[in-house]
């Protein structure tokens, strides 16, 4: 085999490979010789089938395997001899001339092909001692624990039907049927039966719940409400609808006392134990948010430190995944780029930058991990799979078997474990300043994203309000 480099440009490499016909013939003969002892052909004793006969029967199929193995072996040697780290699988270009292909298949001509390689960039790790990141933490107050308990009480309270003569008040729950129309025409998702509405919950479009105050069981009311301008269903956004509402029941919330008996409903022996569990849950949420924020600050700093050429194929793969999700979300929400105050061209440019950032940071973290000899133990991966399986009660074995039989899925479990270890390693190399902040400050970035609206993903069932989701990546 002879491999000649024909291109070295940026992260692209190209080689011209030639494998002599004599080498192909030797490999084909060797494969057929090995096959002779394994096949059973009528009229011949085992191991006595002539090679010429085997060649007529199996020559093309065996040669196809020979050529594939030869190409794989040649590409592997190129990578090893030139100490290349590939960003993607080699791209092989064979001759399209049918006469030449037939000659090669019969080992009458040299195998000649071009292989295009895309390599990972080579870069030096930077000194990080000048980086300072702030690690914000928040303490869980008694008031936050009490607020959580009150919320649990509200969510688990019952409702008692009111007398027919009693009207609905804020906090009451009504069971209603409704038919919605716009300009006298019914619209999709605008009608339903047996819907429960809690006045003051804000779950319906603005103005809908408030107009039910005072309604009694058996009442029929007409409620007029306007869909928000940013409502996900474009055919409803900003339009005023009329709902013919029939009140089937009005129920008042039952009184709930947060005491030891209340705690026992959650499997706790006392209210104090329930408070401890609630505090621990809130602390975990705060700790997770602290981790997210300090990690993002660190990645931002790393992103400013590094600038190098990126493998186009990796960027394209990352962008394709991001863009597919964007299109799926927008389609489900019934939104357009115009609704998001942008154009498809500008959105593509924005998300391509995100893809480039992810690839760049991924390469940096991988290099840091390699040089620091950071490893993820098999038992750590096993534990992570167990945790994932627990998220699917009754299907644990199915989830476990899926990961056990799917190396790619297992690699996807290992990757974030590796990344978190590398982040911890990098944090040990930079200056970390701890700062105690309020809960509001700790979650301020999330609140800002929610207020901004992101590229919205929303429910479209009327008259429920839509909820937004963030578009920005954490990386």
The CATH code of the domain that includes 167 is: 3.10.50.40
Would you say 401 and 392 are in contact if contact means Cβ atoms under 8 Å apart?
no
- Asked whether residue 153 is assigned to any structural domain, the reply reads no
**What are the structure tokens assigned to 32, written together?**
């057929």
Would you say 87 and 120 are in contact if contact means Cβ atoms under 8 Å apart?
yes
pLDDT tens for 218-232 read 999 999 999 988 787
- Asked whether residue 352 is assigned to any structural domain, the reply reads yes
Q: How far from 241 is each of 185, 190, 213, CA to CA, in Å?
A: 10, 9, 19
Nearest CA-CA partner of 463 in 250, 191, 199, 245 = 191
- Asked whether residue 261 is assigned to any structural domain, the reply reads no
Q: How far from 80 is each of 13, 74, 75, 367, 391, CA to CA, in Å?
A: 14, 10, 9, 19, 43
Residues 6+ apart with CB under 8 A from 399: 385, 388, 389, 392
Shared-domain flag, residues 212 and 288: no
pLDDT in the model for residue 446: 63
pLDDT in the model for residue 39: 78
pLDDT in the model for residue 237: 84
Shared-domain flag, residues 279 and 249: no
User: In terms of residue numbers, what domain contains 315?
Assistant: 269-452
Which percentage of the chain shows pLDDT scores above 90? Answer: 77
Shared-domain flag, residues 328 and 431: yes
Domain with 285 in it: what CATH number?
A: 1.10.3120.10
- At residue 49 the predicted structure's pLDDT band, cuts being 50, 70 and 90, is confident
Nearest CA-CA partner of 100 in 77, 65, 67, 51 = 67
Shared-domain flag, residues 331 and 405: yes
- Asked whether residue 321 is assigned to any structural domain, the reply reads yes
Shared-domain flag, residues 291 and 327: yes
Nearest CA-CA partner of 279 in 378, 139, 168 = 139
**What are the structure tokens assigned to 367, written together?**
């290099």
Shared-domain flag, residues 280 and 357: yes
pLDDT in the model for residue 461: 32
Would you say 16 and 3 are in contact if contact means Cβ atoms under 8 Å apart?
yes
- Asked whether residue 124 is assigned to any structural domain, the reply reads no
pLDDT in the model for residue 464: 37
Domain boundary among 118, 143, 175: 118
Q: Is the pLDDT of residue 138 over 70?
A: yes
Domain with 104 in it: what CATH number?
A: 3.30.70.1050
pLDDT tens for 255-293 read 889 999 999 999 999 999 999 999 999 999 999 999 999
In which residue are the tokens 């039952």 written? 254
Q: Which region among 39-43, 194-198, 206-210 has the lowest average model confidence (pLDDT)?
A: 39-43
- At residue 303 the predicted structure's pLDDT band, cuts being 50, 70 and 90, is very high
pLDDT in the model for residue 335: 79
C-alpha to C-alpha distance for 47 and 471, rounded to whole angstroms: 66
pLDDT in the model for residue 475: 56
Residue that wins the pLDDT comparison between 422 and 1:
422
Shared-domain flag, residues 11 and 103: yes
Q: Is the pLDDT of residue 336 over 90?
A: no
Domain boundary among 118, 147, 175: 118
Domain boundary among 118, 138, 166: 118
Shared-domain flag, residues 363 and 398: yes
pLDDT tens for 379-438 read 999 999 999 999 998 899 999 999 989 999 999 999 999 999 999 999 999 999 999 999
Would you say 11 and 84 are in contact if contact means Cβ atoms under 8 Å apart?
no
pLDDT tens for 446-466 read 654 544 333 322 222 333 332
- Asked whether residue 146 is assigned to any structural domain, the reply reads no
- Asked whether residue 374 is assigned to any structural domain, the reply reads yes
Shared-domain flag, residues 243 and 273: no
Q: Is the pLDDT of residue 473 over 50?
A: no
Shared-domain flag, residues 8 and 98: yes
What is the rounded average pLDDT for all residues in the chain? 89
C-alpha to C-alpha distance for 209 and 413, rounded to whole angstroms: 45
- Exposure string (b/e) for 215-254, b if CB count within 10 Å is 16 or more? bbbebebebebbbeeebbbeebbeeebebebbbbbbbeee
Shared-domain flag, residues 278 and 423: yes
Shared-domain flag, residues 195 and 335: no
pTM of the model: 0.75
User: How many distinct structural domains can be found in the chain?
Assistant: 3
- Asked whether residue 98 is assigned to any structural domain, the reply reads yes
pLDDT in the model for residue 349: 96
C-alpha atoms less than 13 angstroms from C-alpha of 382 in its C-beta half-sphere: 3
Residue that wins the pLDDT comparison between 235 and 366:
366
Residue that wins the pLDDT comparison between 436 and 336:
436
Which percentage of the chain shows pLDDT scores above 70? Answer: 94
Would you say 409 and 403 are in contact if contact means Cβ atoms under 8 Å apart?
yes
C-alpha to C-alpha distance for 39 and 23, rounded to whole angstroms: 24
């Amino acid at each position: 085999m002879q491999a000649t480099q024909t291109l070295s440009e940026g992260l692209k490499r190209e080689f011209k490979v030639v494998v002599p016909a004599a080498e192909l013939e030797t490999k084909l003969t060797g494969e057929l010789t090995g096959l002779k002892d394994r096949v059973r052909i009528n009229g011949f004793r085992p191991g006595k089938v002539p090679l010429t006969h085997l060649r007529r029967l199996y020559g093309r199929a065996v040669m196809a395997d020979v050529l594939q193995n030869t190409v794989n072996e040649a590409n592997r040697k190129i990578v090893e001899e030139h100490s290349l780290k590939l960003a993607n699988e080699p791209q092989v270009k064979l001759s399209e001339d049918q006469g030449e292909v037939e000659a090669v298949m019969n080992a009458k001509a040299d195998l000649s092909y071009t292989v295009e390689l895309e390599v990972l960039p080579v870069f030096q790790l930077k000194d990080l001692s000048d980086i300072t990141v702030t690690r914000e933490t928040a303490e869980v107050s008694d008031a936050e624990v009490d607020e959580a308990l009150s919320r649990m009480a509200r969510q688990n309270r019952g409702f008692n039907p009111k007398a027919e003569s009693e009207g609905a008040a804020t906090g009451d729950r009504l069971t209603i049927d409704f038919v919605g129309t716009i300009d006298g025409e019914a619209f999709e998702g605008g009608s339903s039966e047996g819907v429960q509405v809690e006045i003051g919950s804000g779950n319906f479009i603005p103005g809908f719940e408030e107009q039910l105050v005072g309604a009694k069981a058996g009442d029929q009311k007409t409620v007029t409400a306007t869909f928000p301008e940013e409502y996900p269903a474009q055919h409803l956004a900003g339009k005023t609808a009329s709902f013919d509402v029939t009140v089937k029941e009005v129920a008042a919330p039952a009184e709930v006392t947060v005491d030891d008996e209340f705690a026992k409903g959650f499997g706790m022996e006392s209210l104090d134990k329930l408070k401890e569990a609630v505090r621990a849950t809130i602390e975990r949420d705060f700790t997770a948010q602290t981790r997210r924020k300090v990690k993002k600050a660190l990645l931002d700093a790393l992103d400013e430190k590094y600038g190098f050429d990126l493998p186009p194929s990796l960027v394209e793969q990352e962008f394709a995944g991001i863009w597919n999700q964007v299109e799926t979300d927008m389609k489900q929400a019934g939104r357009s780029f115009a609704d998001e105050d942008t154009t498809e061209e500008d959105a593509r440019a924005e998300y391509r930058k995100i893809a480039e950032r992810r690839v760049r940071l991924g390469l940096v973290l991988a290099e840091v991990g390699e040089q620091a000899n950071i490893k993820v133990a098999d038992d750590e991966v096993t534990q992570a799979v167990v945790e994932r399986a627990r998220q699917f009660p009754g299907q644990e074995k199915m989830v476990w078997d899926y990961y056990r039989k799917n190396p790619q899925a297992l690699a996807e479990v290992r990757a974030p474990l590796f990344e978190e270890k590398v982040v911890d390693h990098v944090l040990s190399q930079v200056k970390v300043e701890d700062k105690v902040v309020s809960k509001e400050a700790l979650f301020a970035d999330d609140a800002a994203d929610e207020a901004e609206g992101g590229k919205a993903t929303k429910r479209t069932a009327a008259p429920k309000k839509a909820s937004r989701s963030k578009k920005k990546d954490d990386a």
